[in-house]
């Protein structure tokens, strides 16, 4: 993300990219956390609502370090939404659904952004009258296209990153739900060690390649789906 731009030198277009990234990060992280709280409430847990987390106010959700990391590197986090599994009829299943809600919300946003990005091209290519096609309109549509593209790639990254099946990521809740009970406590015994190893792998870049493959696979899936629609 921004770190790559700064490392290679910032042009005027790069600066515009940075400006567009800020609102995308704010909106994406807020919706991610809001989805956790919304799902918990649907399953009977009012804790997030009582703690003021069912809001679009970014100040209630953003973690300073996680937000900066998201801006610089394209991976980040927000303040965890407080969840009390005692309210769930099935605590293990409830935690899995709450954990899954965040990444799913980001994939929905990414899919929508991908659609709007393609619609931007289609409108410019097919809907504008010839008199409206000029350098000014091209620049305006390019900015709109870039905005939706950032929305798409950043939300795919956020979803993939959070689906890593180890704590503290959302994917761990899904993994624990799928894990047979006879292995559950054995894995939980080494939870801290697994988490530390995963963080080392992330920050040394060892996991970059498999995560990039997954991100690329999702974008290819979007390309396939929208390739079935004329003019998109």
Give the max Cα distance, the chain: 69
- The whole-angstrom distance between residue 59's C-alpha and the CA centroid of its chain comes to 18
3-state secondary structure of 62: strand
CA distance 147 to 1: 14
Q: Is 33 a catalytic residue?
A: yes
Q: Residue 93 burial by CB count (10 A; 0-12/13-18/19+): exposed, middle or buried?
A: middle
CA distance 178 to 21: 35
CA distance 208 to 124: 35
Q: Is the dihedral of CA 103, 36, 192, 165 positive or negative?
A: negative
Token pair of 185 as six digits? 């406590």
> Of 33, 49, 152, 191, which is the active-site residue?
33
Which positions are annotated as active-site residues?
33
């Amino acid at each position: 993300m921004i770190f790559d731009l700064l490392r290679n030198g910032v042009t005027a277009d790069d600066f515009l990219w940075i400006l567009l990234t800020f609102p995308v990060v704010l909106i994406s992280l807020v919706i991610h956390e809001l989805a956790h709280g919304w799902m918990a409430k649907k399953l009977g847990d009012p804790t997030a609502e009582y703690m003021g987390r069912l809001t679009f106010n970014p100040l209630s959700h953003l973690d300073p370090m996680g937000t900066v990391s998201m801006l610089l590197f394209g991976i980040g986090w927000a303040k965890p939404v407080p969840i009390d599994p005692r309210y769930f009829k099935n605590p293990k299943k409830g935690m899995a659904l709450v954990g899954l809600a965040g990444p799913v919300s980001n994939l929905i946003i990414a899919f929508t952004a991908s659609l709007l990005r393609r619609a931007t091209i289609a409108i410019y290519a097919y809907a504008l009258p010839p008199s409206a096609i000029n350098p000014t309109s091209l620049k305006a549509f390019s900015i709109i296209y870039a905005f939706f593209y950032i929305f798409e790639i950043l939300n795919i990254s956020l979803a993939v990153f959070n689906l890593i099946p180890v704590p503290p990521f959302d994917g761990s809740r899904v993994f624990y739900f799928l894990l047979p009970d006879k292995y559950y406590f054995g894995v939980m015994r080494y939870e801290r060690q697994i988490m530390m190893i995963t963080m080392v792998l992330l920050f040394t870049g060892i996991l970059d390649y498999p995560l990039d493959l997954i991100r690329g696979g999702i974008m290819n899936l979007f390309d396939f789906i929208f390739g079935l629609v004329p003019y998109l």
